Amino acid sequence: MLCEETRSVFSMYLDDVATLPTRAAVDQHLDTCPVCRAQLSELRLIRQGLRTLFRPSAPQDLAASICEALTIESEARRLQPRLSFSVRLSQWLQPKLMPYTVGWIASVILFACMFTALRPHFVALHEATAQINSFYLVVPGPNIYDPVQDYATSRAPFAAQSPSLNPSGALAALTHSYSRRPASEPDQEADDMVVVADVFSNGSASLAGVVHPPRDRQMLTDFEAALRRDAAFVPAAFDRRPDTMRVVFTVQKVDVRDHSF
């Protein structure tokens, strides 16, 4: 037997209730294992020490005192008046219903306080919404896409190959500024450039390449900034053109010195 198996049957071995094969196996193991022999000796000493302990005895009047207490309790229950159904029901509900009732009332009071505190904000928000709705209903704004659609319709024969420039975009404003310099600015020399741009379905565009760079590098920088600012062309649906197309864009800065015409 192993040490663990031997120690597990020490209690039956000491009480002399183990079977003969078990006792023989334990004796065989104890002959070769000093550790288990020492532990068995400790258990025997503990057992002998427990036998020498004082055994307490119950008081002589213990049974009489228990019987007397039971008699008094029984007589008290018999003499106690019978409670009505409503009293018994309230006693049964009080420990169960009161905590939930207090919590429910506290929740209602808290919600009422929060609603009262936030009511002015709700009223202001409702009035602001009503004013916004009335503004849009009474003073409807014009459709900003109507002029663009009309402009795109006028270019229908050419729109499939040449997308329509957005007349209100930053690129259109840049090209117009080259021929509308204020009189206070000094005269600038004429310049031009040829670039390739990719035009997308929403009208935005990006610079794809430079065929002919301008002499003034600021001209190309302004052109790229205008493309990034907003949609340079009208949407593809207005022109009935492909969603993405590549176009060659020519920009000329004209030096007009005579403003008498």
Q: What pLDDT does residue 58 have? A: 79
Distance CA 38, CA 31 (A): 12
Q: What pLDDT does residue 252 have? A: 76
- The pair of structure tokens assigned to 213 is 């760079």
pLDDT means over runs of 10, the chain (261 residues): 86 88 90 89 88 80 89 84 77 70 82 87 78 46 57 73 83 75 54 88 88 87 88 84 85 62 43
Run of H or E including 246: strand 245-253
**Would you give the DSSP letter of residue 15?**
T
Q: What is the reported pTM?
A: 0.40
Run of H or E including 196: strand 191-199
- Residue 237 near residue 227 (C-beta atoms within 8 A): no
Helix (H, G, I), strand (E, B) or coil at 212: strand
Q: What pLDDT does residue 96 have? A: 65
- The pair of structure tokens assigned to 198 is 């990719």
Q: What pLDDT does residue 141 have? A: 43
Q: What pLDDT does residue 180 have? A: 58
Q: What pLDDT does residue 67 have? A: 92
Enumerate the domain spans of the chain. Answer: 3-49, 91-133, 163-180+189-253
Query: In sequence order, which residues have a C-beta less than 8 Å from that of residue 172 and are 6 or more positions away?
Result: 165, 166, 232
